[in-house]
Amino acid sequence: MGLLIQSNVSLKPFNTFGVDVKARVFVEAHSDADIREALAYAKEHKVELLVIGGGSNLLLTGDIDALVLRMATRGIRITHENCDGATVEAEAGEPWHPFVQETLAQGLAGLENLSLIPGTVGAAPMQNIGAYGVELKDVFDSLVAMDRETGETREFSLSECAFGYRDSVFKHQVGRWLILRVRFRLSFAARLHLDYGPVRQRLQEQGIANPTPIHVSRAISAIRSEKLPDPATLGNAGSFFKNPLVSAELAARIRETHPGLVAYPQADGQVKLAAGWLIEQAGWKGFREGDAGVHALQSLVLVNHGAATGLDILHLAQRIQTDILERFGVSLEMEPNLY
């Protein structure tokens, strides 16, 4: 085998929470052939397979008795181009933010609002990443995935991915499909989204009257840097809870006692609430127990101050969920995948 098979490898460098657990078997894949070898190894040795990218959407609660396959494939290419824009394909192992910056450098707009999101290109469709009024599905063209059982590849169109809020078909079929590469429809003519959060205000403060996609990317990167801690210095997985969707009736009841409720009406009549606002109102902002805590500047972010275990962080998250349900009647759903 060409793969480097390693045993009892610490996954601390491979998850942004910085949780120190071990993988029974660990490999890195740099090509489709490597992936097929890893699949064959797992089948031959009867071990489960856990695929990871940047480890930014993981909460590891114990040692992993499986083959951990880290996607390390690289490559960015334009597969189609016309006067309006281009289709750009990226390998699953490409780090997300540098990929966004590469498309902007080529004069292509569409991904600027998704700047500075951690993780890899291959992980992005799993939960249909989104930020500042834009979701991955808005610029998605198609992707190629491998069937873990047969090793065969298949194309997925936009409709076949069944994207929803932080959701996709791949999130419900985790054990079957392994995303190899993703294609995006990007434009030479910018259609900027500036009205979600403080983006427009930040650009105005900078004296930018006619922003470009690069201006928007820089503004959003600055905003995210101020709100979200750098995992290299404080372990975290970004937003830990999804913004909950509730009925209009429940939102109205909460607003009666909390007039400052941050809420966004949806087209289907539901209301999206700001989970961070709920958590802050409940007094959890800046909370710390041992090395597991809630970030002092952003209540939506749970952090590892150094030596917290995955279980420490999980137990804190569960306490917050229970409290928010009792106070507001709202169920919070965790964003990271638990292992």
Active site residue 142: no
| Given 24, 74, 166, 327, the catalytic residue | 166
Task: Report the chain's terminal Cα–Cα distance, integer Å.
Answer: 28
- For CA atoms 136, 138, 139, 141, give the dihedral sign: positive
Active site residue 239: yes
| Given 142, 168, 239, 299, the catalytic residue | 239
CA 291, CA 327: separation in Å to the nearest integer? 26
- List the alpha helices (DSSP H) in 32-182: 32-45, 96-105, 158-161, 169-172
Looking at the chain, how many residues does it have? 339
Q: What is the largest CA-CA distance in the chain?
A: 64
Residue 201 neighbours by CB under 8 Å, 6+ apart: none
In one-letter notation, the amino acid at residue 247 is: S
Active site residue 183: no
- Alpha carbon separation from 101 to 58, 115, 200 (Å, rounded): 24, 8, 20
String of DSSP letters for 16-55: TT----EEEEEEEE-SHHHHHHHHHHHHHHT--EEEESSS
223-235 burial, b at 16+ Cβ within 10 Å, e below that, comes to bbeebbbebeebb
Tokens 């951990």, located at residue: 68
CB 313 within 8 A of CB 304: yes
Tokens of 333: 């759903």
What's 116-128 look like in SS3?
A: CCCCECCCCCCCC
Tokens 């995006």, located at residue: 184
Tokens of 203: 């650009």
Tokens 């069937």, located at residue: 147
List the catalytic residues.
166, 239, 335
